[in-house]
């Protein structure tokens, strides 16, 4: 793709988006497409990637990286998602990211009831720490890469047994779409169709998931879908500049970014603004839509700041789950009035360390 001194710069730019190791990003650039270095997935591939983002990258638990993914490697028709190791519950119990992913992804049903997990998701194979996923209909491919000690086979067997004991039918090895899955699609057409209008966006964001780590000032992300919008709530503590323009610039970069344009915006981050009483939370809200004006589903970004975004002892919890020290120093500096000094709360349960109730 490029040669000489330009290549290392391009590699670093790619890493800002993907989080890949240097050599992986370099190899991808050498064999890649100059005009669209982070190609979009299409059709079922886009849906598969969007389902992963929607089900397991919602925030709500502390991971080493804001959405629990350290890096993503992509090509036109495949993606490898590098999962973080674990989260920490109250009293220090850890829970593997691989188990969390399966809890949220695997499809199952009680006869006649709504299907849980991802409709049509199927296990295509296991190779060491790699779990290969696909959708009924094929032509798409996504690998979840766990830590080296991850045993996907054992985790899947446990859940198969658990489903059967609960009177549910596990669906992740069914060769075709089952009657219950077809019924689920028929019974929830609005929900199903609005999700499909967001597949392009979910895929594009998953392929650039490292921007939430490398290019945002937020220490915490929380994401969900409402109607035809994918909403991301990003919390930044006081004491550092809320630089949402830098994040937006990277996200909407004409070469590397997602083809988005700003539909409307409301900004509350005047640096001379008085922030009011202790629990006051301010929010800069951006509504973004596809740059081609096609009216597909869009993205809402909520940049929250002010003293209401107090991080408590999040820094200690994030350190315990392996968050990179350089990132912590950037987004949770101990000089911030919203960051508890580590020693002060030792032995006390974290406000959020049970991994719940962050919404």
Contact residues for Zn ion (CB under 5 A)? 267, 269, 284
Q: How far is the CB of 238 from Zn ion (least distance, A)?
A: 14
Q: How far is the CB of 248 from Zn ion (least distance, A)?
A: 10
User: Looking at beta carbons only, is 28 or 282 nearer to Zn ion?
Assistant: 282
Q: How far is the CB of 264 from Zn ion (least distance, A)?
A: 13
Q: How far is the CB of 270 from Zn ion (least distance, A)?
A: 8
Q: Are strands 260-266 and 282-290 parallel, antiparallel or unpaired?
A: antiparallel
Q: Are strands 86-88 and 94-96 parallel, antiparallel or unpaired?
A: antiparallel
Instruction: List 82's β-bridge partners, or say none.
Output: 71, 145
Residues 6+ apart with CB under 8 A from 19: 65, 69, 70, 71, 72, 82, 209, 210, 213, 214
Q: Are strands 108-109 and 169-170 parallel, antiparallel or unpaired?
A: antiparallel
User: Looking at beta carbons only, is 198 or 234 nearer to Zn ion?
Assistant: 234
User: Looking at beta carbons only, is 75 or 268 nearer to Zn ion?
Assistant: 268
Q: How far is the CB of 245 from Zn ion (least distance, A)?
A: 8
User: Looking at beta carbons only, is 152 or 232 nearer to Zn ion?
Assistant: 232
User: Looking at beta carbons only, is 128 or 249 nearer to Zn ion?
Assistant: 249
CB 191 within 8 A of CB 141: no
User: Looking at beta carbons only, is 192 or 280 nearer to Zn ion?
Assistant: 280
User: Looking at beta carbons only, is 50 or 284 nearer to Zn ion?
Assistant: 284
CB 185 within 8 A of CB 192: yes
Q: How far is the CB of 284 from Zn ion (least distance, A)?
A: 3
Q: At what angle do helices 97-105 and 43-56 cross, to 10 degrees?
A: 120
Residues 6+ apart with CB under 8 A from 118: 51, 55, 105, 106, 107, 135
- The rounded distance, in Å, linking the Cα atoms of 107 and 166 is 14
Q: How far is the CB of 269 from Zn ion (least distance, A)?
A: 3
């Amino acid at each position: 793709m490029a040669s000489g001194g330009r290549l290392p710069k391009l590699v670093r730019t790619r890493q800002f988006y993907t989080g890949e190791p240097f050599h992986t990003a370099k190899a991808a650039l050498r064999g890649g497409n100059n005009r669209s270095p982070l190609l979009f997935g299409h059709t079922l591939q886009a849906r598969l990637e969007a389902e992963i983002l929607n089900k397991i990258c919602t925030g709500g638990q502390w991971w080493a990286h804001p959405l629990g993914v350290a890096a993503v490697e992509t090509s036109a028709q495949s993606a490898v998602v590098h999962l973080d190791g674990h989260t920490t519950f109250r009293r220090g119990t850890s829970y593997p990211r691989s188990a969390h992913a399966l809890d949220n992804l695997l499809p199952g049903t009680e006869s006649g009831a709504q299907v849980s997990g991802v409709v049509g998701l199927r296990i295509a194979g296991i190779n060491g720490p790699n779990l290969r996923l696909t959708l009924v209909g094929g032509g798409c491919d996504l690998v979840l890469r766990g830590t080296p000690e991850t045993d996907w086979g054992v985790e899947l067997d446990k859940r198969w047994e658990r489903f059967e004991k609960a009177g549910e039918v596990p669906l992740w090895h069914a060769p075709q779409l089952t009657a219950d899955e077809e019924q689920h699609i028929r019974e929830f057409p609005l929900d199903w169709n609005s999700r499909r209008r967001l597949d392009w966006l979910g895929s594009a964001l998953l392929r650039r998931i490292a921007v939430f780590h490398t290019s945002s000032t937020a220490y915490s992300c929380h994401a969900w879908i409402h109607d035809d919008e994918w909403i991301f709530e990003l919390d930044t503590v006081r004491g550092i500049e809320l630089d949402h323009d830098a994040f937006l610039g990277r996200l909407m970069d004409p070469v590397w970014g997602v083809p988005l344009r700003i539909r409307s915006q409301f900004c509350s981050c005047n640096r001379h603004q008085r922030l009011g009483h202790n629990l006051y939370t301010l929010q800069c809200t951006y509504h973004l839509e596809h740059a081609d004006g096609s009216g597909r589903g869009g993205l809402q970004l909520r940049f929250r700041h002010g003293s209401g975004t107090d991080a408590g002892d999040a820094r200690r919890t994030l350190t315990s789950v392996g968050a990179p020290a350089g990132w912590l120093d950037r987004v949770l500096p101990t000089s911030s009035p919203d960051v508890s000094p580590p020693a002060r709360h030792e032995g006390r349960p974290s406000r959020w360390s049970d991994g719940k109730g962050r919404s």
